Amino acid sequence: MTGLTNEQVQQRIEEGKINVNENPNTRSYKQIVRENVLTFFNFLNLALMIMVLLVGSYKNSMFMGIIVINTVIGIIQEVRAKKTLDKLAILTESKAVVLREGKKWSISTEKLVLDDIQLTGVCSKRNIVGQICFLSLTYHALNHTFHLSILLFEQWQELFASSIIAKWP
């Protein structure tokens, strides 16, 4: 068993058959700006400023400067928090051990591709990309027989680890 070759991995990446994080830890910069600018409070103050300008009292529209400063401060704070969380996410990133071209590689789980052979150990996390197959060999002491079970899990199916993976003596 040698696993995928580099050409096969590149082909699957080009085809989009990769492990994508559906729930990113932080929002994008575009989302941060949009959600800080497009608020009910800002729309209300914009409507009030338009009314004040229609009346002709330009001095009283200066409150919009404070609204703009408040929005900019909110954006800056959230961008700084995003950068900090992104740095922390690198420290807690999940790793997977895969077999590629006959060698073991430790890679990020986001770099897993379809048909990767993932090596697992005791209490290791499992990331399903494609299919995963477990073979279970059980010894029945009462009648001295072995029972072989094959479990097949498809992509996006939940996998519950209720058994222990251990080395055979």
Structure tokens, 1 = 């068993």
Per DSSP bridges, beta strands 103-108 and 95-100 are antiparallel
Cα–Cα separations (whole angstroms), residue 153 to 33, 49, 115, 156, 167: 41, 60, 13, 9, 22
In the chain, % of residues over pLDDT 90: 28
Overall size of the chain counted in residues: 169
- pLDDT per position as a tens digit, 28-72: 899 999 999 999 999 999 999 999 999 988 888 888 899 999 999
Rounded CA separation 64/77 (Å): 20
Section 125-150 average pLDDT: 54
Band the pLDDT of 164: cuts 50, 70, 90. Answer: very low
Backbone angles phi, psi at 25, to 5 degrees: -70, -35
pLDDT at res. 143: 61
pLDDT at res. 123: 45
Whether the pLDDT of residue 100 is over 50: the answer is yes
Beta bridge partners of 105: 98
Section 18-32 average pLDDT: 81
Rounded CA separation 106/115 (Å): 16
pLDDT at res. 150: 52
Closest CA to 97 of 70, 125, 72, 73: 125
Whether the pLDDT of residue 161 is over 50: the answer is no
Decide: pTM greater than 0.75.
no
Whether the pLDDT of residue 108 is over 70: the answer is yes
pLDDT at res. 158: 44
- For 51-89, what is the HEC assignment? HHHHHCCCHHHHHHHHHHHHHHHHHHHHHHHHHHHHHHH
Backbone angles phi, psi at 78, to 5 degrees: -70, -35
**Spatial strand order in the sheet of 103-108:** 103-108, 95-100, 117-119
Rounded CA separation 8/47 (Å): 58
